[in-house]
């Protein structure tokens, strides 16, 4: 090595003086007061009582965390990010009406440029609300990957696939996984995304499962979304949607199942067999809006060892990509569903939203906790507002009082994406103007076309 070769530089970040939420794998969460979080090259190397810099850390970028609570970044375990363009455009309708009269006709209008604008708007919304990782399922995934690369977030991207798309669409899905898995400095991972067992035939599910195993990626699929789908599957083919996933190799490849409200007792041993690589994303706001019952059987799934995570679903149903709202609704609806106020405690709820999300995406070795060795995905929240005070229990404040707007600073992979409420990787006014300009065309369904017909 010549003398002129610069020494390898280590990018240091020091979050100074913050309280730190610890989310253990089991048991109660707790708060360590007044800590420094030391980050080198995107990885947390130390969490220690605040004090003087050490020589190796001099020159580090410093974030003043005093008076703020640091928590692991929230994970949105199921969404369709570009659907923010359809926010509020499909209200007060049944599930059938939502798909057949509103969403699938609108989606037939989408261009790559629309998806690009929608994904960037979604990224801005998620950074603002402390979501550092999201599991997405949508069309034009290259545009979403570009938005993730540009804005600095972390995401697992599944290209939505319908059997009606044919061989070309299937090949494109696999090509996307080959091109982008591990992309954006490792912040992008890919899952294969057959839409659902009622829109993708068994042969294609098998082919995609084989590709997933070959590529070492997972599957992200809607299944047993509600009980009517399970009943219809039993009636039409004699087996539940979960058994379809088993018979076509989807469970064996490792699956993130969206919703699962129609998972029935006979499915549990099957899911339990694959518990290490199976997760269910619970998105309660959309079940409440569509008047669906029962909800995701969270207690039974956890008892079977299956990972449960928190999602919003797309904003055409959920209206926001706010995981605070989603995790609060998980706690509230689960208590009500099992009629037990002592169940789904604040610690358990926070665990689902961070560790559960990480596990659901197969990223449990990288994210989900603020501990040495983990990637530095850090959210600093300000719980000093009147809606959080007096602050008897910060964990309860996070679950039941905090708002997305209490998030002050967001770090992903050691890079500051929002500092004291200011987005650093997004030109917000330009982005909002572009999204607004696209909406009228996206919402026009007078052509009578649709990407699919809902008849599960
Ligand atoms: Zn969905």
Ligand 1 center from residue 136 Cα (angstroms): 9
User: Would you state the pLDDT for residue 2?
Assistant: 42
Instruction: Return the pLDDT at 276.
Output: 95
Q: Give the contacts of 362 (CB within 8 A, at least 6 positions apart).
A: 156, 189, 218, 254, 277
- The topology under which CATH files domain 12-72+370-423 is Urease, subunit C; domain 1 (2.30.40)
pTM beyond 0.85: the answer is yes
**Residue ranges with CB less than 5 Å from ion ligand 1:** 258, 313
pLDDT in tens, 249-260: 999 999 999 999
pLDDT of residue 9: 61
User: How remote is the CA of residue 312 from the centroid of ligand 1, in Å?
Assistant: 9
Query: Three-state SS across the chain?
Result: CCCCCCCCCCCEEEEEEEEEEECCCCCCCEEEEEEEEEEECCEEEEEEECCCCCHHHCCCEEEECCCCEEEECEEEEEECHHHHHHCCCCCCCCHHHHHHHHHHHHHCCCCHHHHHHHHHHHHHHHHHCCEEEEEEEECCHHHHHHHHHHHCCEEEEEEEECHHHHHHHHHHHHHHHHHHCCECCCCEEEEEEECCCCCCCHHHHHHHHHHHHHHCCEEEEEECCCHHHHHHHHHHHCCCHHHHHHHCCHHHHCEEEEECCCCCHHHHHHHHHCHHHEEEEECHHHHHHCCCCCCCCHHHHHHCCCEEEECCCCHHHHCCCCHHHHHHHHHHHHHHHHCCCCCCCHHHHHHHHHHHHHHHCCCCCCCCCCCCCCECCEEEECCCCHHHCCCCCHHHHHHHHCCHHHEEEEEECCEEEEECCEECCCCHHHHHHHHHHHHHHHHCCCCCCCCCCCCC
| Mean pLDDT taken over the chain | 96
In this predicted structure, the answer to whether residue 6 has a pLDDT above a threshold of 60 is no
Q: What is the pLDDT of residues 262-309, one digit of tens each?
A: 999 999 999 999 999 999 999 999 999 999 999 999 999 999 999 999
The band of 3, judged by pLDDT with boundaries at 50, 70 and 90, is: very low
The answer to whether residue 311 scores a pLDDT higher than 70 is yes
pLDDT value at position 194? 98
CA of 18 to the centre of ligand 1 (A): 36
At 1, the pLDDT band (50, 70, 90 cuts) reads very low
Nearest CA to 70 out of 294, 325, 377 is that of: 377
Q: How far is the CA of 403 from the centre of ligand 1 (A)?
A: 24
Contact criterion met (CB below 8 Å) for 284 and 329? yes
141-177 pLDDT per residue, tens? 999 999 999 999 999 999 999 999 999 999 999 999 9
Domain boundaries along the sequence of the chain: 12-72+370-423
In this prediction, residue 8 carries a pLDDT of: 53
From the CA of 237, how far away is ligand 1's center (Å)? 23
């Amino acid at each position: 090595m010549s003398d002129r070769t610069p020494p390898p530089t280590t990018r240091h970040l020091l979050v100074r003086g913050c309280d730190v939420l610890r989310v253990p794998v089991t048991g109660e969460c707790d708060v360590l007061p007044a800590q420094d979080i030391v980050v080198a090259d995107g990885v947390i190397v130390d969490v220690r009582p605040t004090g003087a810099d050490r020589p190796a850390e001099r020159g580090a970028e410093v974030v003043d965390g005093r008076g703020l609570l640091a928590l692991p970044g929230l994970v949105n375990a199921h969404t369709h990010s570009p659907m923010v363009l359809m926010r509020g455009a499909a209200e007060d309708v049944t599930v059938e009406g939502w798909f057949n009269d509103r969403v699938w006709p609108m989606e037939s209008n989408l261009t790559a440029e629309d998806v690009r604008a929608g994904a960037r708007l979604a990224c801005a919304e998620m950074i603002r609300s402390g979501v550092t990782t999201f599991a997405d399922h949508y069309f034009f995934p290259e545009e979403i990957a570009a938005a993730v690369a540009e804005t600095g977030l972390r995401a697992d991207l599944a290209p939505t696939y319908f059997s009606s798309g044919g061989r070309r669409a299937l090949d494109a899905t696999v090509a996307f996984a080959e091109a982008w898995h591990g992309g954006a400095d490792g912040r992008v991972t890919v899952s294969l995304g057959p839409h659902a067992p009622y829109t993708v035939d068994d042969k294609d599910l098998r082919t995609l499962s084989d590709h997933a195993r070959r590529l070492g990626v997972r599957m992200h699929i809607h299944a047993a979304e509600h009980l009517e789908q399970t009943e219809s599957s039993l009636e039409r083919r004699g087996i539940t949607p979960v058994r379809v996933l088993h018979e076509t190799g989807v469970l064996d490849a490792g699956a993130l199942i969206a919703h699962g409200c129609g998972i029935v007792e006979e499915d549990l041993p099957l899911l339990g067999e694959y518990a290490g690589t199976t997760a269910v994303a619970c998105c309660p706001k959309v079940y409440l809006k569509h008047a669906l019952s029962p909800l995701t059987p969270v207690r039974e799934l956890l008892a079977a060892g299956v990972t449960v995570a928190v999602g919003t679903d797309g904003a055409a149903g959920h209206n926001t990509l706010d995981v605070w709202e989603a995790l609060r609704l998980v706690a509230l609806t689960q208590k009500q569903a099992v009629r037990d106020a002592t169940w789904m405690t604040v610690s358990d709820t926070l665990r689902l939203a961070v560790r559960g999300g990480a596990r659901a995406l197969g990223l449990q070795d990288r994210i989900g906790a603020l501990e040495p060795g983990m990637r530095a995905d850090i959210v600093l929240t300000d719980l000093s507002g009147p809606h959080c005070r007096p602050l008897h229990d910060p964990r309860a404040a996070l679950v039941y009082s905090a708002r997305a707007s209490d998030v002050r600073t967001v770090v992903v992979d050691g890079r500051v994406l929002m500092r004291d409420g200011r987005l650093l990787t997004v030109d917000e006014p330009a982005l909002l103007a572009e999204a607004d300009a696209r909406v009228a065309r996206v919402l026009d369904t007078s052509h009578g076309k649709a990407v699919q017909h809902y008849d599960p």
